Chain A
């Protein structure tokens, strides 16, 4: 074991505290505050969870419990273009797994991780409510429907030149 402590940016921490205050530091708002925290930091490392716990006066264990319960939350840093593949029932039946495998193959990273250049990360989601378009892939806020394995490289291409 090593004792590395992540240094959070003071300005981000202040913003997070503000968010907590806007929810009246209510313990019942834990999930909402975590959502905003993930928006600010991109992910929820232990240090961020500790700040949330302190601001809402709940135990860190409880915060961690919630973070690990919802697949939406992530403790690993995400890429600038986070790719989420829906693996809900409809998408799964329509070949989501093959699509996922293709992303993993092309980007050479497993689920939950980020490419070394920090550009892409891969996560899985449960039903995103667009079953008619299954299988569904999201890159950031943008949704792609009826994705095929061949379509994967086209999606990645869109972001090739972007920074």
Chain B
């Protein structure tokens, strides 16, 4: 490792050869503004197109200003990060970007959390001297994501997420010059592409060009309707991130305050998706044991490894890219859909409410769930099991709009019966959590013994692909874990090539799992936030009195009173699904 010395703003700093000026300055505590640059550290995602030039600095002896994010340090370099020339250049760069940007800030969904807006404020832009023609693109409304390319600044972060990290390959820079834009092939809309709706492009877009479909208007209308019973479920990862929107430290758990806020917003019943996560474990865990049991008895037709199926982004991915392998994921529906299905049958009976008088809303860290609840197979006579899904960000916005002082809300508990959950349900929110929850239950059901240690440290972590084995009383169960669809693709290619040794694999589309979901408060390029959320999830788990799904008394009751047993006919009908081959869609031309 070679070290070099240089001077930044008259201070000396020593860095490894190959370090960029941006990182060297950071070491000195100097934050050079950036717009297109993105670095997600441990998640191993770096994007430095050097395109926007907001980060320019002056390097003595060079005629041109250099982009700090893409310029490596040299020995004895002398750098100025805020000379008058630099400040003027940055402002000009920004004015140029804004000259082809609509002035929609007042009504833009990104207003307040927009990096471009922040930058304009920071640079003190007060007028746009260059008034030219503006690009106009047709907005694209899909069931989950809205693309308004007039607001695109061509930073191309979304492309990096979609192509390099997710390997979905839907987005690419197309055309040239003034007409250039990021778009799916043949500039079709997202709905006619192979988009998985993972929302990772939305999560990194610095402007309002990519946003999620908004359901808050519909929600307010339903809450105001006296003839409707509005039921809400909240996903595990929401409680570990919602606080950030109110200025709380990343990793602050706000479960109780979230429940209080939802009740004050006017929901009739505040329930927990974690309950449905416990239910998922009953079904998925039983399915795993069933497949394993048959395999151990020598049944050669049994499909192993079994893949988890609780992430709709991942489900979309294999339906498009690996349709011939669609018989290996578990048939268990996602917790969101299990919840909807049980709410509109079992629970609707309990409270004597008709299906069409009940509105089931979900709060999700996820963009793909917005799409998932529109899938036809998850509805009965045109009435969806889950009416619609709002993101963590949308919930935060609603709470703010209602003038609640979030920080001073009391801690309240979820309603019963669909609000009771175990620690196993909570850890669904992080990579490794689903499989750990499954192992906790499958182990005890298989061996008939109590687990001595509930925590399976070997399944935890943030590495993109992990593997571990668990001893099931003499039988070794090999487990694989992947988050990010690019990592999932690697494991799938291995299975295809017959090289996979795993019995079970957990897959989540988003970095870190749902804690890094496309609907979470924006991390603005800081990966430590995702790790803090992960810690919070495990903290919630260890604080729960019950930590194994099969011990949830309300789950036990649900089976006793209604479903019979896991994988029963009724359970199949209400809690399982089937997958489609979506590769051979007809090409649609306008």
A-to-B contact residues, CB < 8 Å: 1-5, 46-47, 49-50, 58-65, 68-69
In the bound assembly, the distance between CA atoms of A68 and B163 in angstroms comes to: 18
B175–A69 CB distance below 8 A: yes
**Given A65-B173, A65-B174, A60:B590 Cβ within 8 A:** no
Residue of B nearest to A75 (CB): B186
A62–B172 CB distance below 8 A: yes
B588–A1 CB distance below 8 A: yes
Per-residue CB contact flags for chain B residues 397-428 toward chain A (1 = under 8 Å, else 0) read 00000000000000000000000000000000
Residue B169 CB within 8 A of the other chain:
yes
In the bound assembly, the distance between CA atoms of A68 and B170 in angstroms comes to: 16
In the bound assembly, the distance between CA atoms of A146 and B586 in angstroms comes to: 48
B587–A46 CB distance below 8 A: yes
Count, chain B residues at interface, CB 8 A: 21
Residue of A nearest to B169 (CB): A59
Q: Which of B168, B185, B586 interacts with A49 by CB under 8 Å?
A: B185
Extra inter-chain contacts (7) besides given A60-B185, A61-B171, A61-B185, CB under 8 Å: A1-B590, A4-B587, A49-B185, A61-B174, A64-B174, A68-B175, A69-B175
In the bound assembly, the distance between CA atoms of A60 and B185 in angstroms comes to: 6
Residue of A nearest to B589 (CB): A4
In the bound assembly, the distance between CA atoms of A58 and B193 in angstroms comes to: 15
In the complex, chain B residues 560-590 whose Cβ is within 8 Å of any chain A Cβ: 586-590
**Given A59-B170, A69-B174, A64:B185 Cβ within 8 A:** yes
Please name all residues of chain B whose beta carbon is closer than 8 Å to the beta carbon of A47 when the two chains form the complex: 587
**Given A68-B174, A68-B175, A68-B176, A61:B169 Cβ within 8 A:** yes
Please name all residues of chain B whose beta carbon is closer than 8 Å to the beta carbon of A68 when the two chains form the complex: 174-176
In the bound assembly, the distance between CA atoms of A3 and B175 in angstroms comes to: 24
B587–A61 CB distance below 8 A: no
Residue of A nearest to B189 (CB): A1
A59–B588 CB distance below 8 A: no
Please name all residues of chain A whose beta carbon is closer than 8 Å to the beta carbon of B171 when the two chains form the complex: 61
Distance in Å from the Cβ of B428 to the closest Cβ of chain A? 31
Residue B517 CB within 8 A of the other chain:
no
In the complex, chain B residues 145-193 whose Cβ is within 8 Å of any chain A Cβ: 163, 168-176, 183-187, 193
Can you list 20 residue pairs at the A/B interface with Cβ under 8 Å?
A1-B588, A1-B589, A3-B588, A3-B589, A4-B589, A46-B185, A49-B185, A58-B169, A59-B185, A60-B169, A61-B170, A61-B183, A61-B185, A61-B193, A62-B169, A62-B172, A64-B172, A64-B187, A65-B172, A69-B174
Residue of A nearest to B171 (CB): A61
In the bound assembly, the distance between CA atoms of A2 and B184 in angstroms comes to: 18
Interface of A is mostly: helix
A-B contacts counted at CB < 8 A amount to 59
Please name all residues of chain A whose beta carbon is closer than 8 Å to the beta carbon of B176 when the two chains form the complex: 68-69
Please name all residues of chain B whose beta carbon is closer than 8 Å to the beta carbon of A1 when the two chains form the complex: 588-590
Interface of B is mostly: loop
Please name all residues of chain A whose beta carbon is closer than 8 Å to the beta carbon of B170 when the two chains form the complex: 59, 61
Please name all residues of chain B whose beta carbon is closer than 8 Å to the beta carbon of A61 when the two chains form the complex: 169-172, 174, 183-185, 193
In the bound assembly, the distance between CA atoms of A5 and B172 in angstroms comes to: 23
In the bound assembly, the distance between CA atoms of A64 and B588 in angstroms comes to: 15
Distance in Å from the Cβ of B72 to the closest Cβ of chain A? 24
Please name all residues of chain A whose beta carbon is closer than 8 Å to the beta carbon of B168 when the two chains form the complex: 59
Distance in Å from the Cβ of B168 to the closest Cβ of chain A? 8
B186–A5 CB distance below 8 A: no
In the bound assembly, the distance between CA atoms of A79 and B587 in angstroms comes to: 25
Q: Which of A5, A59, A65 interacts with B586 by CB under 8 Å?
A: A5
Please name all residues of chain B whose beta carbon is closer than 8 Å to the beta carbon of A49 when the two chains form the complex: 185-186
**Given A59-B163, A61-B184, A3:B172 Cβ within 8 A:** no
In the bound assembly, the distance between CA atoms of A49 and B586 in angstroms comes to: 15
Top 6 nearest A-B pairs (CB, nearest first) are: A59-B169, A61-B172, A65-B172, A60-B185, A3-B586, A61-B185
In the bound assembly, the distance between CA atoms of A60 and B589 in angstroms comes to: 15
Distance in Å from the Cβ of A35 to the closest Cβ of chain B? 18
B186–A64 CB distance below 8 A: yes
Please name all residues of chain A whose beta carbon is closer than 8 Å to the beta carbon of B588 when the two chains form the complex: 1-3
Residue in A46, A61, A65 with the greatest tally of chain B CB atoms within 10 Å: A61
Residue of B nearest to A53 (CB): B185
In the bound assembly, the distance between CA atoms of A47 and B171 in angstroms comes to: 18
Residue of A nearest to B177 (CB): A69
Please name all residues of chain A whose beta carbon is closer than 8 Å to the beta carbon of B184 when the two chains form the complex: 61
A46–B186 CB distance below 8 A: yes
Distance in Å from the Cβ of B587 to the closest Cβ of chain A? 5
Residue in A2, A46, A58, A68 with the greatest tally of chain B CB atoms within 10 Å: A68
In the bound assembly, the distance between CA atoms of A49 and B169 in angstroms comes to: 14
Residue of B nearest to A61 (CB): B172
B172–A59 CB distance below 8 A: yes
Please name all residues of chain B whose beta carbon is closer than 8 Å to the beta carbon of A2 when the two chains form the complex: 588-589
In the bound assembly, the distance between CA atoms of A5 and B585 in angstroms comes to: 11
Distance in Å from the Cβ of B462 to the closest Cβ of chain A? 27
Residue of B nearest to A2 (CB): B589
In the bound assembly, the distance between CA atoms of A150 and B176 in angstroms comes to: 33
Please name all residues of chain B whose beta carbon is closer than 8 Å to the beta carbon of A62 when the two chains form the complex: 163, 169, 172
Residue of B nearest to A60 (CB): B185
Please name all residues of chain B whose beta carbon is closer than 8 Å to the beta carbon of A50 when the two chains form the complex: 587
Residue in B185, B586, B588 with the greatest tally of chain A CB atoms within 10 Å: B185
Please name all residues of chain A whose beta carbon is closer than 8 Å to the beta carbon of B175 when the two chains form the complex: 68-69
Please name all residues of chain A whose beta carbon is closer than 8 Å to the beta carbon of B590 when the two chains form the complex: 1
In the bound assembly, the distance between CA atoms of A65 and B171 in angstroms comes to: 9
Please name all residues of chain A whose beta carbon is closer than 8 Å to the beta carbon of B587 when the two chains form the complex: 3-5, 46-47, 50
Residue in A2, A50, A63, A69 with the greatest tally of chain B CB atoms within 10 Å: A69
In the bound assembly, the distance between CA atoms of A1 and B171 in angstroms comes to: 21
